[in-house]
A and B are shown apart, each in its own frame.
Chain A
Amino acid sequence: MHAHEVYRIGIGSWTLFRLFPDAFNDKLGLTFSLAKGLSWHFFLMWLFGINGLLYVLYTFISGAWRDLLPGRHALRDAWHVFLHDLHLRREKPSQGKYNAAQQIAYTLIILAGAGSIVTGLAIYKPTQLHWLTTLLGGYEFARFLHFWLTMGYVVFFVIHVIQVAIAGWNNFRAMVAGFELVQDVGGVSQEQQR
């Protein structure tokens, strides 16, 4: 058994999917390159961490965190959003800039990012940071968490792209260009800064 065979999704001996497809690894120049893969990690962790830190700082300084943090009824509202998106519920819960499901997702993804850093450190320096590794349930469980957080990003990414596609062009443009066109009450269109 090659060592990377453990990276799979399945139950027991049944395997649904192996990580990652060769075409993916080929394109990124990672095929069977353990040392290179590790050094990518220890290089990109800086971009990952600094980028996350800047984002969190920005949301706090700009006050954008108020739109992003879930409110008291977020769980119930998110459930209603979920039903609405599946066309099982007609009315959409009232929302601000983001709906409750978005708020929960966008907050969880930040926590997940922090989790990736922490579990990553626990398996990067399991000797020097053995207290952290132990705190996370040991080396193998920390690695398990690290792996499944990454799978979580993949799921987040897929749902995100689907939702953007469903939401339409105006929304997509707002994400990229930072503005959207809305119709005035008087029927005159105007440009609105997000």
Chain B
Amino acid sequence: MSREEPDGPLSLFGGTSPEYPDDAVRVQARRRTRRSFLAGGVGAAGLYGAWRWILGRPEIGQVPAPLRHALDFNADISHTVFGDRGLAPTFPLSRSVAAVRVNGVIGLDPALRLDRWRLQVKNLANAQSSPHYVADVNTWKYADDPSIMAQDDSLDTYVEGDGNPDRSNSQPNGPEPGLLLTMDAIRALPHVEMVTQLKCIEGWSEDVHWGGARLSDFIHAYPPACGAHGRLPRYVGLETPDRQYLRRAAHGRCHAPADPALLRNQWAAALHRSWRAFAAGHAAQVWHQASEADRQHQLQRHAATRLLGGE
């Protein structure tokens, strides 16, 4: 589609060249053409090489370092631009879905025995003064309950081997002082409900009715230890007991007590998979209306998590 085609038959990249009498021009044209195509080829190869180079860099948190630095750069901009002002919109109860989608079972541990379940919390301020204090949170090992697993077909497919989770991949070194909280300690926190949208970049979203303890209330009740220079940790990490699923959220955002919707949403995002049952149907109804047996079952499935101090 050039504006003036030289006369002569068209062909695919074949050099349609009619006779150009001016040899000097042709020589010059050839030289410039060669140079341009060479530069273009080197440029294209360079782009592909850069792509492969980035993929070959050491990974930070399962992402190649250059991409990780880009993410951190974006996060700094986002913090500056939005701060804590961006609140997730909340919706009327009627908009929430009846049955929340199950997107996967990674980190969804087989049924737990609630009476033996503990929330491991590390890197807290004044942990020693708490009645839940232990010198090493790793002394607690959670146990699954074969009787409950037998009732739930969906759990069977997930359990492999003897049903004990593999925690060898991230066994910490040395004792880690902290708290081992019971479910009653979580229930003692204020109960909050709201409907926010859960968004999954894999291609779906749902309006979910959440109910339970809010992360901000939790952090308020169990404040983290300050690091060097008296700064609060940058992130809060959440991990399922089998350590198969880990989320982290910027601590400052979780901490701001004035932003319930935002906090709720952060909490929701953080627990998207690992606390599936928290969103299972109308979670609040589960908490309030379900029979004791059902309630135990639900609680066992959504209560399983560890709380880790941030970086």
- Please report A residues at the B interface, Cβ cutoff 8 Å: 3-4, 6-7, 28-29, 34-36, 38-40, 42-43, 46, 95-99, 102, 123, 125-130, 134, 138-140, 143, 163, 165-174, 176-183, 187-191
Chain A residues with CB under 8 A of B7: 183
Q: Per-residue CB proximity of B64-95 to A under 8 Å, as 1/0?
A: 10111011001000100110011111000000
A-B pairs, 6 with minimum CB distance: A128-B86, A177-B36, A3-B202, A43-B70, A171-B2, A39-B67
Chain A residues with CB under 8 A of B1: 98-99, 102, 163, 167, 171
Q: List 14 A-B contacts (CB under 8 A).
A: A3-B202, A34-B201, A36-B63, A43-B66, A43-B70, A96-B3, A165-B12, A168-B10, A168-B12, A172-B13, A179-B29, A182-B6, A183-B20, A190-B22
Q: Is the interface of A mostly helix, strand, loop or mixed?
A: helix
- Give the tally of cross-chain contacts (CB within 8 A): 149
Cα distance A134–B91 in the bound complex, in angstroms: 13
| Interface contact B5-A130, CB-CB below 8 Å | no
User: Is B161 interfacial (CB 8 A cutoff)?
Assistant: no
Residues of B159-182 contacting chain A, CB below 8 A: none
| Interface contact B103-A3, CB-CB below 8 Å | yes
| Interface contact B199-A139, CB-CB below 8 Å | yes
16 A-B pairs besides A163-B1, A182-B4 with CB distance below 8 A are A36-B55, A46-B70, A95-B3, A97-B3, A138-B205, A140-B204, A168-B11, A169-B13, A169-B14, A171-B1, A173-B36, A176-B37, A177-B35, A183-B6, A183-B7, A189-B21
Cα distance A126–B196 in the bound complex, in angstroms: 12
Q: Whole-angstrom distance from the CB of A170 to the nearest CB of chain B? A: 6
- Please report B residues at the A interface, Cβ cutoff 8 Å: 1-7, 10-18, 20-22, 25-26, 28-29, 32-33, 35-37, 40, 51-52, 55, 62-64, 66-68, 70-71, 74, 78, 81-82, 85-89, 103-104, 197, 199-205, 262, 265
Q: Which of B3, B18, B28 contacts A183 (CB 8 A)?
A: B18
